[in-house]
Structure 1
């Protein structure tokens, strides 16, 4: 990537487009983003159950562990994680089998002797965009903070939003020191499939992220790309209210992706 940054932006864009398109074509898996809300005082016990039991159970029943995180500012006692499966049907079958697994039933019963560990669960099924890099589920060379960004497109503009990311945004993110990890749209047929883009970035720190985004937003190439895309889309490509939502995450000690 350091070599890419020395190239003109047009060449950076072309190189990233070529690499990411072929990579995304190989990743036809369905990802699931799950958010667990733990009751007060129960998050440590929930993390312990995932570390000691849940990840092994997922793998046993054919699910792939991707990443497990908690928000930097975790006021809601959240655990945010990503798993993947060959298809949604495969995911459903795996969880059904896991639910009947005697080892899993015992782990749940033992962990909940003093009360339930989860008060609410949110789930979204995701598919990788054509321009997404191929996610490497591994530990980074240095400690880093992750940023989960969720975009809601204005009516009819998800295609334009994806085009802007494909042709401009991801190259500009790289130019300004951000690491593109993976980009998803919501699985067809699910709520949000026609207007939602979700992606993960990595930064050295929250401060580094702020610095990178400040430079990105002032970049003449970004300003030109945004202007052209909004002219094509008839206005802003993201909704006025909660059109862009960002949350900084840190990986748990058992997360494959760090």
Structure 2
């Protein structure tokens, strides 16, 4: 099992639009493309206005296949274009594929 940690640095004034895009557009497509979301988090205390989420995959092959099919899905392409017609929702996205340590409670 591997996980992906994704951190979105939100564009000014775009927090609500990003949450809407994730909830209404991305979540159903994540399910369709077998991307299991473990959870979403907002920054409560910290320097940046960002959103963090973690996805779970069987292995690296599953990760690559799932994201490739997701980003090429016409529903995602068209929906993302619609959500971003007034500008991008994020200024930066950081993605890291992570694996648990041998002593991690989450395996």
Q: Give the TM-score of the pair, scaled to structure 2.
A: 0.92
1:198 aligned partner:
52
Structure 1 position 190, deviation (Å): 3.2
1:151 aligns with 2:3: no
Find the residue that maps to 1:251 and give its secondary structure: coil
Q: CA deviation at 1:173?
A: 1.2
Give CA deviations for 1:97-125 in whole Å, capped at 9, x if unaligned.
Answer: xxxxxxxxxxxxxxxxxxxxxxxxxxxxx
1:235 pairs with 2:92: no
CA distance in 2, matches of 1:212, 1:169: 13
Quote the residue 1:210 is aligned against: 64
* Distance in 1 (alpha carbons) for counterparts of 2:12 and 2:19: 14
Separation in structure 2 between the aligned mates of residue 226 and residue 249 of structure 1, nearest angstrom: 26
Alignment RMSD, CA only? 1.2
How far did residue 191 of structure 1 move?
1.9
Aligned-partner Cα distance in 2 for 1:228–1:145 = 32
Once the two structures are TM-superposed, the CA of residue 145 in structure 1 deviates from its matched residue by: 0.3
Equivalent residue number for residue 32 of structure 2: 175
1:229, 1:221 → 2: CA distance?
Answer: 12
- Identify unmatched segments of 5+ residues in structure 2: none
Structure having the higher strand fraction is: 2
Distance 1:210 1:157 in 2: 28
Considering Cα pairs closer than 8 Å and 6+ residues apart, tell me whether 1 or 2 has the greater RCO: 2
Q: Give me the whole-angstrom Cα distance separating, in 2, the residues matched to 1:218 and 1:203.
A: 19
Cα distance in structure 2, aligned partners of 1:149 and 1:174: 17
Count of aligned residue pairs for this structure pair: 107
Shift of 1:228: 1.4
- For structure 1, the 5+ residue unaligned runs are 1-143
CA distance in 1, matches of 2:99, 2:72: 28
- Matched with 2:20 is 163
The TM-score with structure 1 as length reference comes to 0.40
Structure number with greater Rg is 1
- For residues 253 and 181 of structure 1, the distance between their equivalents in structure 2, rounded to whole angstroms, comes to 20
